[in-house]
Chain A
Amino acid sequence: MFQKVLIANRGEIACRIQRTLRDLGIAGVAVYHHEDRDAPHVLAADEAVVLENDVPTAAYLDHAAIIEAARRTGAQAIHPGYGFLSENAAFAEAVERSGLVFIGPDSRVIRLMGDKIRAREFAAAHGIPVAPSAMLERSLQDFLERASGIGFPLLVKAAAGGGGKGMRIVRTGTELEPSVRAAAGEAQRYFADGRVFIERYIEQPRHIEVQVLGDGRGGVVHLFERDCSVQRRYQKIIEESPAPAIPAELRDAITGAATRLASAARYRNAGTVEFILAPDGTFYFLEMNTRLQVEHPVTELVLDVDLVAEQLRIAAGAPLSLRQDDLQPAGHAIECRICAEQPARNFLPATGRIALLRLPAGDGIRFDSGIRAGQTVTPAFDSMLAKLIAHGRTRHEARIRLVSALRQLIVLGVPTNIEYLMRVLENAEFAAGRVHTGLLTQEAARLRQHPPTSEDTAAVILAAALSQPDFRQHSFGMPEPYASIGSWHN
């Protein structure tokens, strides 16, 4: 096993990886941009190396500086976390070339799965169902004809895409050509790759993904599925395992397909195979993420495993420590992503200084966080601050525990989606397990914040006003300091 590992990431995931390193007695090296110098991931590490760069996110993407930091500190391996360099084949290759270990798959597999068109072809070639689709091969006219042949509605997607960028839903033939051109333009801008393809659009689909672990020699176990259907702006905000209301045969079919794909790719590392599940039970391969996922804790809680520890063991060349027959999910886990954003303003990211932070605790509660009180949330990085996860014997218990924990979690100083998440968890459709990717849009009216009662408004207004010593003085005309110390109603 490694003695020292560099974590090429920041925020909650860097703290999460550091925790496992500590559990395994491995020294952890953090890298950071100057703006993050007091961040928890820096304070949690055994050593920390600053990455010089004018642009904060660019610092965490600097291949050469990160590899140099690993070499200088004597780290033997680099864990990329998620985002940043985690699915960057060139970086994985550079790490391998420098004689260090990249904690992830082979750069060849990253490249294969990173190209949606090639990944789809690979999946189809190995008998994994893919949605009926059309690629732009010869002329645009030919492409549009074949696309129309699939039947509307259709979804235009970018080959290099992600996060909904370059994606368009097309419901009629007349919209098709303009949508293809618009999607290609957007894909070119975001990914410098204007290739698009079209597939059948599934109405009210669910997003089901399967966690796998592969040893790189064809040995693969699956760690069951997660349902990540609850999304806003194509980004997941609530994830759970197991997926609610999935018949056993369907679960077996989906996990089996994921295992076959990972095995065929001789996949090494933790990975996730994503599927779209239609209301009629048909499912299609979507993509494979060749890294640890944000939502990995729900799998860890229902299976009592440490996925980061498994990643480290696999990267160090050990055989898989888990046998498929030993993996039996216990209970249910739900995660929600705590983001600095304003749901009432179309989830616009928010910034500010976290003046006050109260953390939740309780049975089955896990809080993976990269924030602390006093920290400033800037627009430089992703708006996700932390993840709150609850485990219970049943979905109902996990959901109730999560709501209670959200109620205990207080973040003051920067707006967050905490209350919105509570409303989603208490929404009747969500509670009944009737989830699909359009749920938040469908339920938007019911998920809106109610106006406060006049009494709550009065309490809040007075609490704010009375926090200002000057307000006391002006309103009550009393000399300082008496006006300030709370005894003004003498």
Chain B
Amino acid sequence: MTYRMKIDDQDVTLDIVARRPLLRARVGSDEWQVAESPVAEAVFEISLNGRTHRGLRCAGSARTVHVWLDGRVYIVELPLPAQGVRSAASAANEIRAQMPGVVLAVHCAGGEAVAAGAELVTIESMKLQTTIVAARSAIVDQVHITANASVARGALLVSFRRETPEP
């Protein structure tokens, strides 16, 4: 699958060439062997063909990520949700926090019928905002958190009823 992104208004494509044994990605016309070390807060460390790049990143407005690398700030526009990079909750009957963070907003309520793609919860984690969307249409059974709450990784956020909503 090709992800169409923009870096400072310039179009760039990203393809995953291989996942195993090591990740290979093609950015534009160049292919790279990619490894990532998790680093605290907004810091990232990504190695490309064995060379390490260390920088900072944070969520910007709308679908942008601001990245600082080697004295330069880049604004990256991410693909739109329809193009497939938006978070989709799994088909399971509950949604759990993928990372420790703070709940910024709750977009659904208990008893509400939500369509596939509907926004459920926005979490800020390591200065990055992630909006979790419904993977399928469902009826929300219960919302287990409120806005501004801190959540640990794996914390239950939203549970769904077993039945599916009337079409």
Which residues of A are interface residues toward B (Cβ below 8 A)?
A: 344, 352-353, 355-356, 358, 407, 410-413, 415-416, 418-419, 422, 451-452, 454-471, 473-477, 479-481, 483-489
Question: Which residue of A is nearest B70, CB measured?
Answer: A456
Residues of chain A within 8 A (CB-CB) of B8 are 344
Stretch at the interface among B31-39, B105-113, B136-144, B158-166: B31-39
Contact A459 B72, beta carbon cutoff 8 Å: no
Shortest CB distance B98–A (Å) = 4
Contact B46 A466, beta carbon cutoff 8 Å: yes
Contact B88 A470, beta carbon cutoff 8 Å: yes
Contact of B27 among A461, A477, A480 (CB under 8 A): A461
User: In the bound complex, what is the Cα–Cα distance between A452 and B10 (angstroms)?
Assistant: 11
User: In the bound complex, what is the Cα–Cα distance between A99 and B10 (angstroms)?
Assistant: 60
User: In the bound complex, what is the Cα–Cα distance between A39 and B58 (angstroms)?
Assistant: 21
Contact A479 B61, beta carbon cutoff 8 Å: no
A-B contact pairs, 21 of them (CB 8 A): A352-B61, A355-B59, A356-B58, A412-B57, A413-B60, A415-B75, A422-B71, A452-B72, A459-B46, A459-B48, A459-B55, A462-B25, A463-B65, A464-B5, A467-B128, A468-B65, A470-B88, A471-B3, A471-B85, A481-B154, A486-B38
Residues of chain A within 8 A (CB-CB) of B148 are none
Residues of chain A within 8 A (CB-CB) of B27 are 454, 457-458, 461-462
Contact of B53 among A416, A459, A475, A484 (CB under 8 A): A459
Contact A489 B35, beta carbon cutoff 8 Å: yes
Contact B44 A461, beta carbon cutoff 8 Å: no
Residues of chain A within 8 A (CB-CB) of B10 are 451
**Known contacts A355-B59, A469-B99; A462 and B34 CB within 8 A of each other:** yes
User: In the bound complex, what is the Cα–Cα distance between A483 and B36 (angstroms)?
Assistant: 12
Shortest CB distance A294–B (Å) = 24
Interface flags for B26-69 (1: CB within 8 Å of A; 0: not) read: 01101010111110001010101001010111111100011111
Shortest CB distance B140–A (Å) = 19
Residues of chain A within 8 A (CB-CB) of B150 are none
Contact of A355 among B12, B28, B58, B84 (CB under 8 A): B58
- Taking A412-B58, A457-B12, A457-B27 as known contacts, 9 extra A-B pairs with beta carbons closer than 8 A to each other, sorted by chain A number, are A413-B58, A415-B75, A418-B73, A451-B10, A455-B53, A457-B7, A468-B128, A470-B87, A473-B87
Question: Which residue of B is nearest A418, CB measured?
Answer: B73
Question: In this assembly, does B130 line the interface, its C-beta being within 8 Å of a C-beta of chain A?
Answer: yes
Question: Which residue of A is nearest B5, CB measured?
Answer: A461
Residues of chain B within 8 A (CB-CB) of A464 are 5, 57, 65, 67, 76, 78
Question: Which residue of B is nearest A345, CB measured?
Answer: B9
User: In the bound complex, what is the Cα–Cα distance between A422 and B20 (angstroms)?
Assistant: 42
User: In the bound complex, what is the Cα–Cα distance between A461 and B79 (angstroms)?
Assistant: 12
Contact B98 A412, beta carbon cutoff 8 Å: no
Closest 8 CB pairs of A and B: A470-B87, A486-B38, A464-B76, A355-B58, A459-B53, A464-B65, A458-B27, A484-B98
Residues of chain B within 8 A (CB-CB) of A469 are 87, 98-99, 130
Contact B61 A353, beta carbon cutoff 8 Å: yes
Contact of B98 among A358, A413, A481 (CB under 8 A): A481
**Known contacts A462-B25, A467-B57, A470-B87; A456 and B69 CB within 8 A of each other:** yes
Question: Which residue of A is nearest B71, CB measured?
Answer: A407
User: In the bound complex, what is the Cα–Cα distance between A422 and B98 (angstroms)?
Assistant: 39
Contact of A474 among B75, B85, B98, B153 (CB under 8 A): B85
Contact B60 A355, beta carbon cutoff 8 Å: yes
Residues of chain B within 8 A (CB-CB) of A466 are 36, 44, 46
Residues of chain A within 8 A (CB-CB) of B57 are 412, 463-464, 467
User: In the bound complex, what is the Cα–Cα distance between A323 and B163 (angstroms)?
Assistant: 86
Shortest CB distance B76–A (Å) = 4
Shortest CB distance A356–B (Å) = 5
User: In the bound complex, what is the Cα–Cα distance between A484 and B78 (angstroms)?
Assistant: 17
Contact B78 A463, beta carbon cutoff 8 Å: no
Shortest CB distance B45–A (Å) = 9
Contact B37 A458, beta carbon cutoff 8 Å: no
CB contact list, B83-131 vs A, under 8 A: 84-88, 90, 96-99, 127-128, 130
Contact B76 A475, beta carbon cutoff 8 Å: no
User: In the bound complex, what is the Cα–Cα distance between A485 and B12 (angstroms)?
Assistant: 26
Contact B16 A475, beta carbon cutoff 8 Å: yes
Contact of B23 among A410, A451, A454, A489 (CB under 8 A): A489
Contact B53 A412, beta carbon cutoff 8 Å: no
Contact of A486 among B7, B37, B58 (CB under 8 A): B37
